[in-house]
Amino acid sequence: MVRLNFEFAIDEFYHVFNHGNGDRLIFLDDKDKRHFTHLLFLTNGSNTFEFSDLNLASIYQFDRGETLVDVGAWCLMDNHYHFLLKEKVEKGVVKFIQRLFSAYTMYFNAKYKKRGSLFEGRFKAKPVEFDEYLKHLFAYIHLNPAKMVKPDWKEGKLAGNQKVWDHLNIYKFSSYHDYLERDRPEKVILNKAAFPEYFNNPKEVEEDMLDWLNFGDWS
C-alpha cells in the first residue's frame, strides 16, 4: 500500500524513485537491468501480457493499450532507480509502479530463488511544482551513473572527469541516450512530447549535463 503526503493528479509531474529492501542490490547483472527495462515499457499500459509469450526482438512493438503515465526520463542503478513521470489517468503512477514492482520481483525471486519483498515497501515520489526543478531533474536523473565511477563527484572531487563523462556516454540503462537522439529500440519508453522542450538539440543536452557535472550546486 502506497501512502504519500499528497494526492497524485492527472497532468502533473513526479520524481519517482526507490531502493532495494535494506538497500540490497536489485540488479545483479546487465540481464536484470535489461529485463527491467523491458518491463518499464510493457507494464505502462492497460493491456496484459505474458512475458514468456513475447518475442524479445519485438518487445518494444507490443500493443500496450492506453498508457498509464508519460515517462520523461529514467535511470537504473544497481540498488535503486529514478523516473520522471507525468500522470495520464487517475492513479496511473500507482498502478504503473505496482505492476512494474510485481512483475520484476517475480522475475528476480524466480531467477535467484529468493522470497519476500525486493523493494522497500513504499516507493518514494516528489511532486514537481516548479519549472526550474523539472528541468534540473533531467540532469539529476541522467547523472546518477557518475557515482559508479566517482562516488564523491558531487563534492567537487572530480579528478578523472573524462572517465566519468566517458562512462555516462556508454552506460546503457538510462534515457540519456534518447536525449542524444541515438537510435535504439528503448526510445519508445519515453514520451518527450508530454514534457517541456528545454533543449533544442543533443548538443544543448550535453552542455547542460557538463554544466551540472562541473559546476552544479548539489547542496
CATH code that applies to domain 13-215 = 3.30.70.1290
Helix axes 92-112, 30-42, angle to 10 degrees: 150
Which pLDDT tens digit goes with each residue over 31-49? 999 999 999 999 999 998 8
**Mean pLDDT across 111-140:** 90
**Mean pLDDT across 161-169:** 85
Integer Cα distance of 65 and 68 in angstroms: 9
Q: What is the pTM of this model?
A: 0.92
**φ, ψ (nearest 5 deg) of residue 30:** -65, -30
Going by the DSSP 8-state scheme, the letter that residue 68 receives in this structure is S
- Least trusted range by pLDDT, from 2-6, 36-40, 90-94, 161-165: 2-6
Which pLDDT tens digit goes with each residue over 92-114? 999 999 999 999 999 999 999 98
- Least trusted range by pLDDT, from 54-63, 121-130, 144-153, 157-166: 157-166
Q: Where are the chain's structural domains?
A: 13-215
Which residues make Cβ contacts (< 8 Å) with residue 66, sequence separation at least 6? 45, 46, 88, 89
